[in-house]
Structure 1
Amino acid sequence: MGNTNCGLSDFHVVKAARQIIVFRCIEEKNYAMKFDILLKAIVYFDAVMRNGSATVAAEQLFVTPGAVAQQIRKLEASLGVTLFTRAIRKLHPTQVAFSYWEQVRPALLQLDTASLTLRNRTNDEIRVSLPPALANSWFARRIPALTRDDPQLKLHLNASTDLLDGEQDTFDIAVRHCDGHAPGLTAELLLPGEVMVYCSPSYRSALRLFEVSDLVKATLLYTTSHANWPKWFAHAGLPHTDLKIGMRFDQSELAIDAARRSQGVVLTSPWLVEDALEQNQLVQLFDTSLSVGKDYYLVHRQNAPLHESADRLRQWLLKTSHL
């Protein structure tokens, strides 16, 4: 047989093979390290592109703006391109950045969805987000029935009115006061969004509030996030300009509490005052109601199927809302 080692001894062949293996291991280790660094930088890049600000991205990632800037520079060096032009405390994406983001964004969403799906398979805790006023009234009132009907449910409640992002939010189920159009989310009508006028029994008696026109004697309690008084008066046929200027509140709960304390009349959702009506702390004035164009919707992410316990809660809420 001919010499297939090209004149090299067996010792040198084995030594060369070992060197190749070592070099390959080093190359693979370096590639893994580079990929880890690159993936982190891409996540930071994505946060900047989504938020339009390195500062906001840093807050979302729980790091400093300097750390975000450092990762962006690493990504640019790795890719050999300029992703942002720099100004004072501002990053402006280049066309290359928009093109690159369009390509990597689906991959990041796929990773996020895969991780969320796996978490849902191994964790029965249901993350629920509701507006604070609805959480403290309509939902809190029904928690005893929920735990009685399904004692195995584990809830993690979050009170928020923040706008939802079907790609980024990590809730399982949420309730929002909206028009039902939410990109990336499945929305199901939970409660109609009508509003009515309420006050304490003593306030009604003291001012003799028996007709809509009697409201010219009353103090109106405004909620800045739900400024529906002008629409309600137009619907009732009474000029809003003839009425007293009342108190303004940032939260519905504060306006409702003021009404309970006989400080004026409040225009709010009947779902937020069920307990107060039952305990005779508030009474409804008139039959006139107003549909505000927004309802309470039950929403969840389109790209992440609900796990079994979350779907049980969803079905229970929808069933309860129709009772």
Structure 2
Amino acid sequence: MRSDTPLKAIACFDAVMQTGSAALAAQQLFVTPGAVSQQIRKLEDWLGVPLFVRTVRKLQPTEYATLYWEQIKPALQQIDQANATLQRRLESQVRLSMPPAFANTWFARRMPLLTSRYPGLNIHLSASADNVDFNSHTYDLAIRYFDGQDGNLNVLLLLPDEVSVYCSPAYREWLQAVNVEDMTRATLLITTSHANWSRWLAQVGLSFDGMTSHLRFDQSETAIDAARRSQGLVLTSPWLVEEDLNENNLVQLFPHKLRTGRGYYLVTSKDRPLTAAARQFRDWLTAAANCTDDEG
């Protein structure tokens, strides 16, 4: 298509051909009859041919207009169909972001329930710990791991965070930890973004300085995987190790828990209402979280 193609004028021309008058076309396009007439003259100048014979009450199409309309109608119909297809797709689309570890564990475990309940839902998931800028209209909603304090967003607590110490059954057998003091022989697996070991140790009467060794990881997933492979003890949320506990890949070493003051929160924009599909997803997500919390 040429860059100077007057698409607005073509839309006005199509409306006049459908309705037979500039006044009715103006009603259909929500503009004034004068604006329609101006666009028709613009199209005639661009094409270099007269499209209508103007009378007092109506516009009479010329032979050029009839021929031109028949040629462009299939393209206009195709544009309408493409618009409708895209709009239907957007109506069923939910764009969301959540932390990678949460996406790959708690959410992934429940995704089959979501897709079976809403088979037409089109989910676009970004697994990222970065904060979402809702002003960019890239996402409908997000799950954030934080303290829930953000006055610029609608914030709903899904799951409070309460961390415990986990390891593989083989590592527990090797460690032979009868009480928490025996942990001094263990390797601590530390996630730098969820650094709660010092607080947990202080809660049970130990200090980080008294530990023999430790390994540091940027991501929770990597630290949890190291624990599965008997590399040490991981301090993490039960929501991230549900499947590992059920399959006995990991076990909780001690009953002691630490409330971190954080949690997994559902956040949405205060300025932009959710689509019907996003509301469906939000309702399902909160129900799934409440069920999890009840089980816990």
Match of 2:125 among 148, 151, 157: 157
Does the 8 A contact of 2:92 with 2:120 survive in 1? no
Aligned to 2:110: 142
CA deviations over 1:257-299 (Å, ceiling 9, x no partner) = 0000001000011111111111111000111111112110001
Q: Which amino acid aligns with 1:293?
A: G
Aligned to 1:320: 288
The 3-state SS of whatever aligns with 1:318 is: helix
Match of 1:229 among 186, 191, 197: 197
Q: Counterparts of 1:5-154 in structure 2 under 5 Å? A: 122-154=90-122
Q: Counterparts of 1:122-271 in structure 2 under 5 Å? A: 122-168=90-136, 170-271=138-239
1:121, CA displacement in angstroms? Answer: 9.7
Paired residue total: 208
1:164, CA displacement in angstroms? Answer: 3.0
1:166, CA displacement in angstroms? Answer: 4.1
Output the CA distance in 2 between the equivalents of 1:284 and 1:147. Answer: 31
**% identical equivalent positions:** 52
Q: Which amino acid aligns with 2:156?
A: E
Does the 8 A contact of 1:210 with 1:285 survive in 2? no
TM-score (norm 2): 0.67
1:201, CA displacement in angstroms? Answer: 0.4
Output the CA distance in 2 between the equivalents of 1:156 and 1:261. Answer: 32
Aligned to 1:298: 266
Does the 8 A contact of 1:175 with 1:296 survive in 2? yes
Does the 8 A contact of 1:166 with 1:302 survive in 2? no
Instruction: List runs of 5+ in structure 1 lacking aligned partners.
Output: 1-24, 30-118
Q: Which amino acid aligns with 1:145?
A: L
1:239, CA displacement in angstroms? Answer: 2.3
The 3-state SS of whatever aligns with 2:213 is: coil
Does the 8 A contact of 1:190 with 1:297 survive in 2? yes
Instruction: List runs of 5+ in structure 2 lacking aligned partners.
Output: 1-37, 43-86, 292-296
Output the CA distance in 2 between the equivalents of 1:291 and 1:135. Answer: 21
Please report the RMSD computed on the Cα atoms of aligned residues, expressed in angstroms.
2.0
Does the 8 A contact of 1:223 with 1:251 survive in 2? yes
TM-score (norm 1): 0.61
1:184, CA displacement in angstroms? Answer: 2.5
1:152, CA displacement in angstroms? Answer: 1.9
Output the CA distance in 2 between the equivalents of 1:235 and 1:170. Answer: 42
1:237, CA displacement in angstroms? Answer: 1.7
Does the 8 A contact of 2:97 with 2:132 survive in 1? no
Residues 171/208 of structure 1: CA separation in 2 closer, same or farther (3 Å cut): same
CA deviations over 1:27-63 (Å, ceiling 9, x no partner) = xx9xxxxxxxxxxxxxxxxxxxxxxxxxxxxxxxxxx
The 3-state SS of whatever aligns with 1:246 is: strand
Output the CA distance in 1 between the equivalents of 2:233 and 2:284. Answer: 34
Residues 277/148 of structure 1: CA separation in 2 closer, same or farther (3 Å cut): same
